[in-house]
Amino acid sequence: MTIDLIKKHASVRKYKPVPLSAAEVKELVIAGQHAASSNFVQAYSAIHVTDPTKKEALAKLTVNAQQFSTAGAILVLCMDYYRIEKGANLTEKIDYQNAEDLLVAATDVALFTQTIAIAAESKGYGICYIGGVRNNPTEISQLLGLPKGVAPMYALTIGVPDEQNEVKPRLPVEAIFHENEYDGEKYDTLIPTYDETMNEYYQSRSSNQKNSDWSESMATFLGKPRRLHMKEFLQKQGFDFK
Ligand SMILES: Cc1cc2nc3c(=O)[nH]c(=O)nc-3n(C[C@H](O)[C@H](O)[C@H](O)COP(=O)(O)O)c2cc1C
C-alpha cells in the first residue's frame, strides 16, 4: 500500500556500496516529472552527479560527507526558469523576478523531488534530502555549470540503506489539522505532549541520542538566522522578491 510506504519513511544517511544504474535514475526522474506543476511551468531540473571529483567537491561544499561518499545516486534539484526563458524568448520576454515566481518554482521543485523520493522508496531504496547544498550555492552552481535562472535547492541521495533509522514521530495530527478555522489554542496542551514523545524518541533512538525535545530543537534551529547569503545568491541568479 502506498500509504504504508509513505508512513515508513525515515531518512537514510549511510548506504551500501551499490550504485543505481543510469536507467534506474532516469526512471525515478521520469516518475518525478509526473508530479503536479503550478500552471505546468515545470520549473525544475535535476543534475545527476556521477563524476567522482564533483561528488567529492559536493560532499565538502554541502558538509554532508558520509552520505555523498556512500550514496548509490546523487541528484541536485534546482529551480529552473532558464529553459522557460529560452522557450518564451521565441515569442516574448518573461519576468520571473516576483516573490510569487519564486514560490511557484520552489513548490514545483519540492513536488518533483518528493515524487522522486517516493518512487525510490517504492523500489526499496533509502533517500535523504541535502539542504546543505544551500551552504555554498555559488560554488555548487559553478561546479555544475548552472546558468542564470537556475538555482540549486537541495540534493537527494538515493541508495541501498546500510543504516535504517527509526521513523520519527510526527506532530499529532490534531496539531496540524484544523476544521473551518485555525485553532491556535490547542497548542498549549498538544506541544508539551509532543515534546515528551520527542524527548523519549531522542533519548532512545539507535543513533545520535540526545536529551532534547521538539520545541527546544526548533528554538535552537530558528533562534538565529541561517544562510543569509541566499537572498544575494538568488538575486544574482535572476530570481527576486518583487
Ligand atoms: C529540504 C530538506 C533538506 C534537508 N537537508 C538535510 C541535510 O542537509 N542533511 C541531512 O542529514 N538531512 C537533511 N534533511 C532531512 C531531515 O533532517 C529529515 O527529513 C527530518 O529530520 C525528518 O526525519 P525523517 O526524514 O527521517 O523522517 C533535509 C530534509 C528536507 C526536506
For 31-45, write each residue's pLDDT tens digit: 999 999 999 999 999
Over the stretch 93-123, which tens digit does the pLDDT of each residue have?
Answer: 888 999 999 999 999 999 999 999 999 999 9
Longest dimension (CA), the chain: 60
User: Is residue 241 situated within a structural domain?
Assistant: no
Q: Are residues 20 and 100 in the same domain?
A: yes
User: Is residue 242 situated within a structural domain?
Assistant: no
User: Is the minimum distance from the CB of 126 to ligand 1 under 6 angstroms?
Assistant: no
pLDDT at residue 125 tops 90: yes
Residue type, 65: A
Q: Are residues 187 and 213 in the same domain?
A: yes
pLDDT at residue 177 tops 80: yes
User: Is the minimum distance from the CB of 157 to ligand 1 under 6 angstroms?
Assistant: no
The domain spanning residue 46 has which CATH number? 3.40.109.10
Q: What is the mean pLDDT of the chain?
A: 95
Proportion of the chain above pLDDT 70, given as a percent: 98
User: Is the minimum distance from the CB of 114 to ligand 1 under 6 angstroms?
Assistant: no
Looking from the CA of residue 13, the nearest atom of ligand 1 is 11
pLDDT value for 64: 76
Question: Which whole-number Å values give the CA distances from 42 to 23, 28, 33, 74, 121, in the listed order?
Answer: 22, 16, 8, 21, 23
Looking from the CA of residue 165, the nearest atom of ligand 1 is 26
Domain that includes residue 139, residue range:
2-165+225-236
Query: How many structural domains compose the chain?
Result: 2
The answer, as to whether pTM is greater than 0.95, is yes
Question: Which whole-number Å values give the CA distances from 62 to 67, 73, 135, 154, in the listed order?
Answer: 10, 16, 6, 9
- 523531488: which residue's cell? 113
